[in-house]
Copies of this chain bind each other. A is one copy, B any other.
Amino acid sequence: MIAELWGQPIKAVNLGNKDFYEDLVSQGVEAIHLDWKPVANGEHALIAALDLLDSDPKVARANQTALERINAAQTFLIDIQPALEAIPGMTADTILHAGPPITWERMSGPVRGAVCGGLIFEGRATTYEEAEALVLSGKVHFSPCNEHSAVGPMAGVITPSMPVFVVENRSQGNRSFSTLNEGLGKVLRFGAYGDEVLTRLAWMRDVLAPALKKALAQSEGIDIKSIAAQALHMGDEVHNRNKAATSLLIRELIPLLLEADIPTQERIEVVRFINSNDHFFLNLSMASAKATLAAAEGIEGCSIVTVLCRNGTDFGIQVSGLPGRWFTGPAGDVKGLLFPGFTEADKNPDLGDSAITETLGLGGFSMAASIAIVQFVGGEPKDALVYSRKMYRITEGSSSTYSIPMLDFRGSPTGIDIRKVIETGILPQINTGIAHREAGIGQVGAGLVTPPWECFSEALLALAQAQS
């Protein structure tokens, strides 16, 4: 029998390392490659941690509780307030930023640009150099937005007098905060800090925010979750495509703006400003996701991710069962489409708190709802379906509210489980804008990225240790 077998032509099925397969094919051998990886990358400590967590019924129950809280969230935009007034732990000397904690020394260009722009906006410096000197003098306290129930896109800089959206999660009573979106081009969040940027920020503080505050005072709050859910049926994934959600938000705001006591010219300016920016909803999508996920924090034994974020240097995650602890790794290189005139060398590493949308199962996780976004981040329509389908393999379940028409209206993949990420080796799929690596320039493109593996492997080991 064996002799007979060896007498036949070789037909190979290759598992794992693709090199063997390619060698065979190059020698004209018929071969099939199976894209298989050993569980947990074959690392014994991770397998042991998985075994421990998988055998503990408390973990499964905790994850179910987390998913229930996420699905139960009811997020409403209720007010606009100055950051100093609204955000817990905010002080006159504090500057909040995106991602996990970081020092000035390790900050990337766009975050430094936004920090210095923020200090100029606050009147504490008049130039980048003065602002930098102030930082180096130790008089500025940096803190991650996510440690204050806040989120900010890209650099994510929030200074004390900036107006912030106040979003309330009515199922748990918690609140979240985010800045108002400035638009595209030269904007603070991408590290620009010129006159154009500062003038716009002052107008947003002095005209936009008071007008929207008066408008919101006419209502019981605007249902952000409902807008995001509708937008998922209208081609948005509410991270990098927000055109439908922004339109629906405008439809909610307009009657309120008309009824509020706002000077006519200011009302026109406000409407034109929001109308000109299809990304205006992004910051609300983020705040809504934050308010939703914060309600699932601190459940003992829970292996669900509650934060994915980046500061342009490090990627950081938090896990429900280990509240407040950061697990970090290097921020990745975003692959995508660059605006004309920019090259790969211009790209800053991955940046921003906006991956809170993916943490909730939107953004990259819901790209199958947003086929048109491939024109912005690269790839083909079928890729968008593949990304979404894959994410169900690393999530606890699916959303009871957000659904994806092209996947037969299946709920979006929700509740990233670090156990499943480690077991399958599938990393969360994020889509994102790309900032120029130098301060003062702005956005250079958009694309796709995943977090580093070590965020999840370290979190898994820590969770297993806490449970053992």
Contact pattern, A 376-395, Cβ under 8 Å of B = 1, otherwise 0? 00001100000000000000
From 227 to 249 in chain A, residues with beta carbon under 8 angstroms from any chain B beta carbon are 230, 233-236, 243-244, 247-248
Residue tally, chain A, CB below 8 Å to B: 32
Cα–Cα, bound, A375→B405 (Å)? 9
Instruction: Pick from A68-76, A154-162, A264-272, A459-467 the stretch touching chain B.
Output: A264-272
Instruction: Tell me whether B275 and A267 are in contact (CB under 8 A).
Output: no
Cα–Cα, bound, A145→B275 (Å)? 36
List the B side residues contacting A251 at CB < 8 Å. Answer: 247, 250, 275
**At the interface, yes or no: A406 with Cβ under 8 Å from chain B?**
yes
**At the interface, yes or no: A105 with Cβ under 8 Å from chain B?**
no
Within the complex, the shortest CB–CB distance from A411 to chain B, in Å, comes to 15
List the B side residues contacting A409 at CB < 8 Å. Answer: 375, 381
CB closest chain-B residue, reference A230? B243
Within the complex, the shortest CB–CB distance from A235 to chain B, in Å, comes to 4
**At the interface, yes or no: A38 with Cβ under 8 Å from chain B?**
no
Contact A406 to B408, CB < 8 A, known contacts A247-B250, A268-B259, A275-B251: no
Instruction: Tell me whether A255 and B271 are in contact (CB under 8 A).
Output: yes
Within the complex, the shortest CB–CB distance from A377 to chain B, in Å, comes to 13
Chain A residues in the interface with B (C-beta under 8 A): 230, 233-236, 243-244, 247-248, 250-251, 254-255, 258-259, 264, 267-268, 271-272, 275, 371-372, 374-375, 380-381, 405-409
Nearest 10 CB-CB pairs, A to B?
A247-B247, A371-B405, A233-B372, A234-B235, A372-B405, A234-B234, A258-B268, A234-B244, A251-B275, A235-B235
